[in-house]
Amino acid sequence: MRKIFQLSEIKILFIFLFCWSCSSDEPDDNSMMQLELNSPQNLVVTQINETAFQITWDAVSSATSYQSQVSLTPSFDAFVAPYDNLEDSGNQINVINLESGTSYFFKVRSVRDDKYSEYSEVIEVTTENAAEPEPDTPLKEVATTFSVGMAVSTSKLGGQWDAIYKREYNNITAEWEMKMNIMYPSEGNYDFSKADLIVDYAVANNMDVHGHALIWHAATPSWVENFTGTDEEFSEMVEDYIKTTVSRYAGKVRSWDVVNEAFEDSGGVLRNSVFRQRMGDDYIEKCYQWTREADPNCLIFYNDYNMVINETKRMAALNMVDDFIDRGVPIDGFGFQMHISYNGPSKSLIASTSKEVTDRGLLLHFSELDVRANPNNDLSSLTVERSEQQKNKVKEVVEVYNAIPESSKFALTIWGLRDPDSWLIDFWGQNDWPLLYDANFNIKKAHTGFLEGLE
């Protein structure tokens, strides 16, 4: 039977539906104002340095912004501009332009419209002390038992480069201007202009010169790569080049890397360069004999990279040296290029592999030292922590070299003066700071590591 609603029942139903329809999950403005505005909690301080720090806190859900205060006193009566109720919508602030070694007091409160929470707990933050300047003791004054070398180019022989070279170093190496492609650019036409500038600079400043490098596959002129004469004529051309170059600088160039990087990275085999193809596997010994004939008094070296970490390659090169010694082929020393990183190789491995050279009675040259600070590309700028790690690695290298027998000491050469001039930047295509001076010619911690390694 159909129920017939009375008028009074209809009125009650209508009122109920109306009230229900007006309800909402969202609070109205009045209820919003009634929500509690909490103080920021869990303040965390990070990135403290000499002039700045960063503070973050948990976001307060009902806050629309935050007001921060920074003071020199815990009573907050000496505010640091502009941090006197500085307002921002984020739950993080970078406090900058501060004094080093100074204590600062920080607090923050939540804001919503014209409502403010109580202030947070007070955080005390002390900026780092300004770093003491690194000692500027000249390296050559402390390294009394071996030469301290620097790679140079003719475009960097004046100005601040000149002043530092004269103060720090007593041995220089041409970074790239005493190689075959520069000194013998076309058949029958030598160009010693750049080499002369470097050698003359050294002579004028009482420095030794380490010649680098007579034969290197990566600095071979195109006309040599495509030489059209017979193999015998090719060999005669190389002999003439070596004897012409070495005799020109006899008495001025103390030593030469005669052949550079002759072995492949794997397999312990000779690199298949044009010199090997045209002159045979004995091309290296021929080059060493011609060098000795041109200047009986210069020291002659074999030089290569990854000698510490690549055992197969190192032993192949040392076996060649053993053969030379047994057969009377002239050779005086072995060069470890030492392009390494702050995190390797270990000091013990550098020491043990160096001993393999010195046990043979050879001179040992750490010939191209640089220490990558950013091998994994995890830094956008050089940090204090990484600077210390780089410093420690330089110290280890110098300690190892300083401890080898006196009869095997020759030189430790750094491959470039300032960080931005390093070949590693272009080679790896990323930021790095591998040398002992920064872009502004300031001494770095790595330089101090060198000094400490000599103590």
- Write out the catalytic residue numbers: 261, 368
Residue 226: which H helix or E strand, with range?
none
Helix (H, G, I), strand (E, B) or coil at 296: coil
Listed residue (350, 368, 446) closest to 151, CA to CA: 368
Cα 168 to Cα 160: distance, rounded to the nearest angstrom: 12
Cα 315 to Cα 214: distance, rounded to the nearest angstrom: 23
Whole-Å CA distances, 323 to 115, 318, 327, 351: 88, 9, 6, 24
Residue 328: which H helix or E strand, with range?
none
Pairing assessment for the beta strands 208-216 and 255-260 based on DSSP bridges = parallel
DSSP assignments along 388-403, one per residue: HHHHHHHHHHHHHHHH
**Residue 368, class by beta-carbon neighbours within 10 Å (0-12 exposed, 13-18 middle, 19+ buried)?**
buried
Q: Are 291 and 330 in contact (CB under 8 A)?
A: yes
DSSP assignments along 94-138, one per residue: EE-SPPTT-EEEEEEEEEETTEE------EEEEPPPPPPPPP---
